[in-house]
Amino acid sequence: MQLENLTSFIGTEVKGLDLREPVSDADFAVLRDTLNQRSVLLFRGQHINESQHVAFSRRFGPLLGHVLTQFLKKEHPEVYVLSNVSENGKPIGNHKEGWNWHSDLSYKAEPSMGALLYALEVPPVEGDTFFASMHAAYEALDDDTKARIRHMTATHSYANYYGKAFADRNPLTPEQLAATPDVVHPLVRTHPETGRLSLYVGEDVVKQIDGLPADESAALLAELNAHAISPEFSYRHKWLAGDLLVWDNRCTMHRATPYDDQVYRRVMHRTTVAGDRPF
């Protein structure tokens, strides 16, 4: 197994592993430590099926489903499908998902620890995914800003996100709304394995910074979001079929980018690893 950093601050490509085969405990310990330090792992040229995807994902922890249950695989409900493809008149996956900067499931009391996204079919151009290091973003703040926000909290809202991101869709059902009430999280969170601090912000899903007047909350949130996604903290991934990306959701944000969905097919499978309550 060889490791090659993708940037100076985020992302490492892992070479020499075929994830159809079990990963040894020794190699997995290296992977886990590298993920804690580098936040994103890339495995290229993989040929895994759903069972192998789920099995490798479980090495990182228990797996979660998704509130949009219509896009979970029946045989392996741990697998959430992202796609523009329709079969028998119905979409097989969620489309136009994650086109804003976000941290997965931040609208939950216990957001996910991470995710593993596997590319089955990708367009030959566009459709890239950006990742930003929230560790690097926090550490680059001036001391006054760090002190100001260190103990602030923010309200994360799936209903707020859904209403902005999917205004053209049917509204959430009462059951879906009940499953995703607003939650409050720290604006600066601590990595539970390394103790390193990071920003915990996001577009659309973060409804407000608590305890501030609405205009001041909106201004500070916009300022922090703009800072967090600066190119100096970001990595742009250009997908190839067979890529598997693993990211640490506790210290990154990411966003998908558009592509010509009338010309090209895109099929991605994602598993989500359960996490802890941010602190």
**Number of Cβ within a 10 Å radius of residue 10:** 24
The pLDDT value given to residue 164: 74
| Choice among 38, 66, 104, 204 that is catalytic | 104
The pLDDT value given to residue 25: 97
**Is 104 assigned a catalytic role?**
yes
| Choice among 135, 189, 254, 269 that is catalytic | 254
**Residue indicated by tokens 């309550």:** 277
% pLDDT > 90, the chain: 86
- Residue 59 to residue 27: CA distance in whole angstroms: 12
Please say if the pLDDT value at position 173 is more than 90: no
CA distances from 140 to 1, 145, 185, 224 (A): 33, 10, 21, 11
CA atoms within 13 A on the CB side of 38: 22
What pTM did the predictor assign? Answer: 0.92
272 Cβ contact list (under 8 Å, min separation 6) = 63, 64, 65, 66, 78, 80, 104, 105, 112, 114, 115
The pLDDT value given to residue 170: 82
Q: Which domains does the chain have, with CATH numbers?
A: 2-273 (3.60.130.10)
Confidence of residue 97 (pLDDT cuts 50, 70, 90): confident
The pLDDT value given to residue 44: 98
Paired sense of beta strands 40-43 and 12-15, if any: parallel
The pLDDT value given to residue 167: 72
Mean pLDDT for all residues in the chain:
95
The pLDDT value given to residue 10: 97
Paired sense of beta strands 244-248 and 40-43, if any: antiparallel
Structure tokens at 81: 């499908």
The residue with greater pLDDT, 105 or 38, is: 38
Structure tokens at 140: 């680059």
Residue 123, exposed/middle/buried by CB under 10 A (0-12, 13-18, 19+)? middle
Confidence of residue 176 (pLDDT cuts 50, 70, 90): confident
**Is 270 assigned a catalytic role?**
yes
- Residue 187 to residue 31: CA distance in whole angstroms: 28
Please say if the pLDDT value at position 162 is more than 90: no
CA atoms within 13 A on the CB side of 168: 2
| Choice among 53, 66, 102, 185 that is catalytic | 102
- Residue 170 to residue 182: CA distance in whole angstroms: 20
Paired sense of beta strands 129-133 and 252-256, if any: antiparallel
In degrees, rounded to 5, the angle at the alpha carbon of residue 259 between the alpha carbons of residues 255 and 265 is: 110
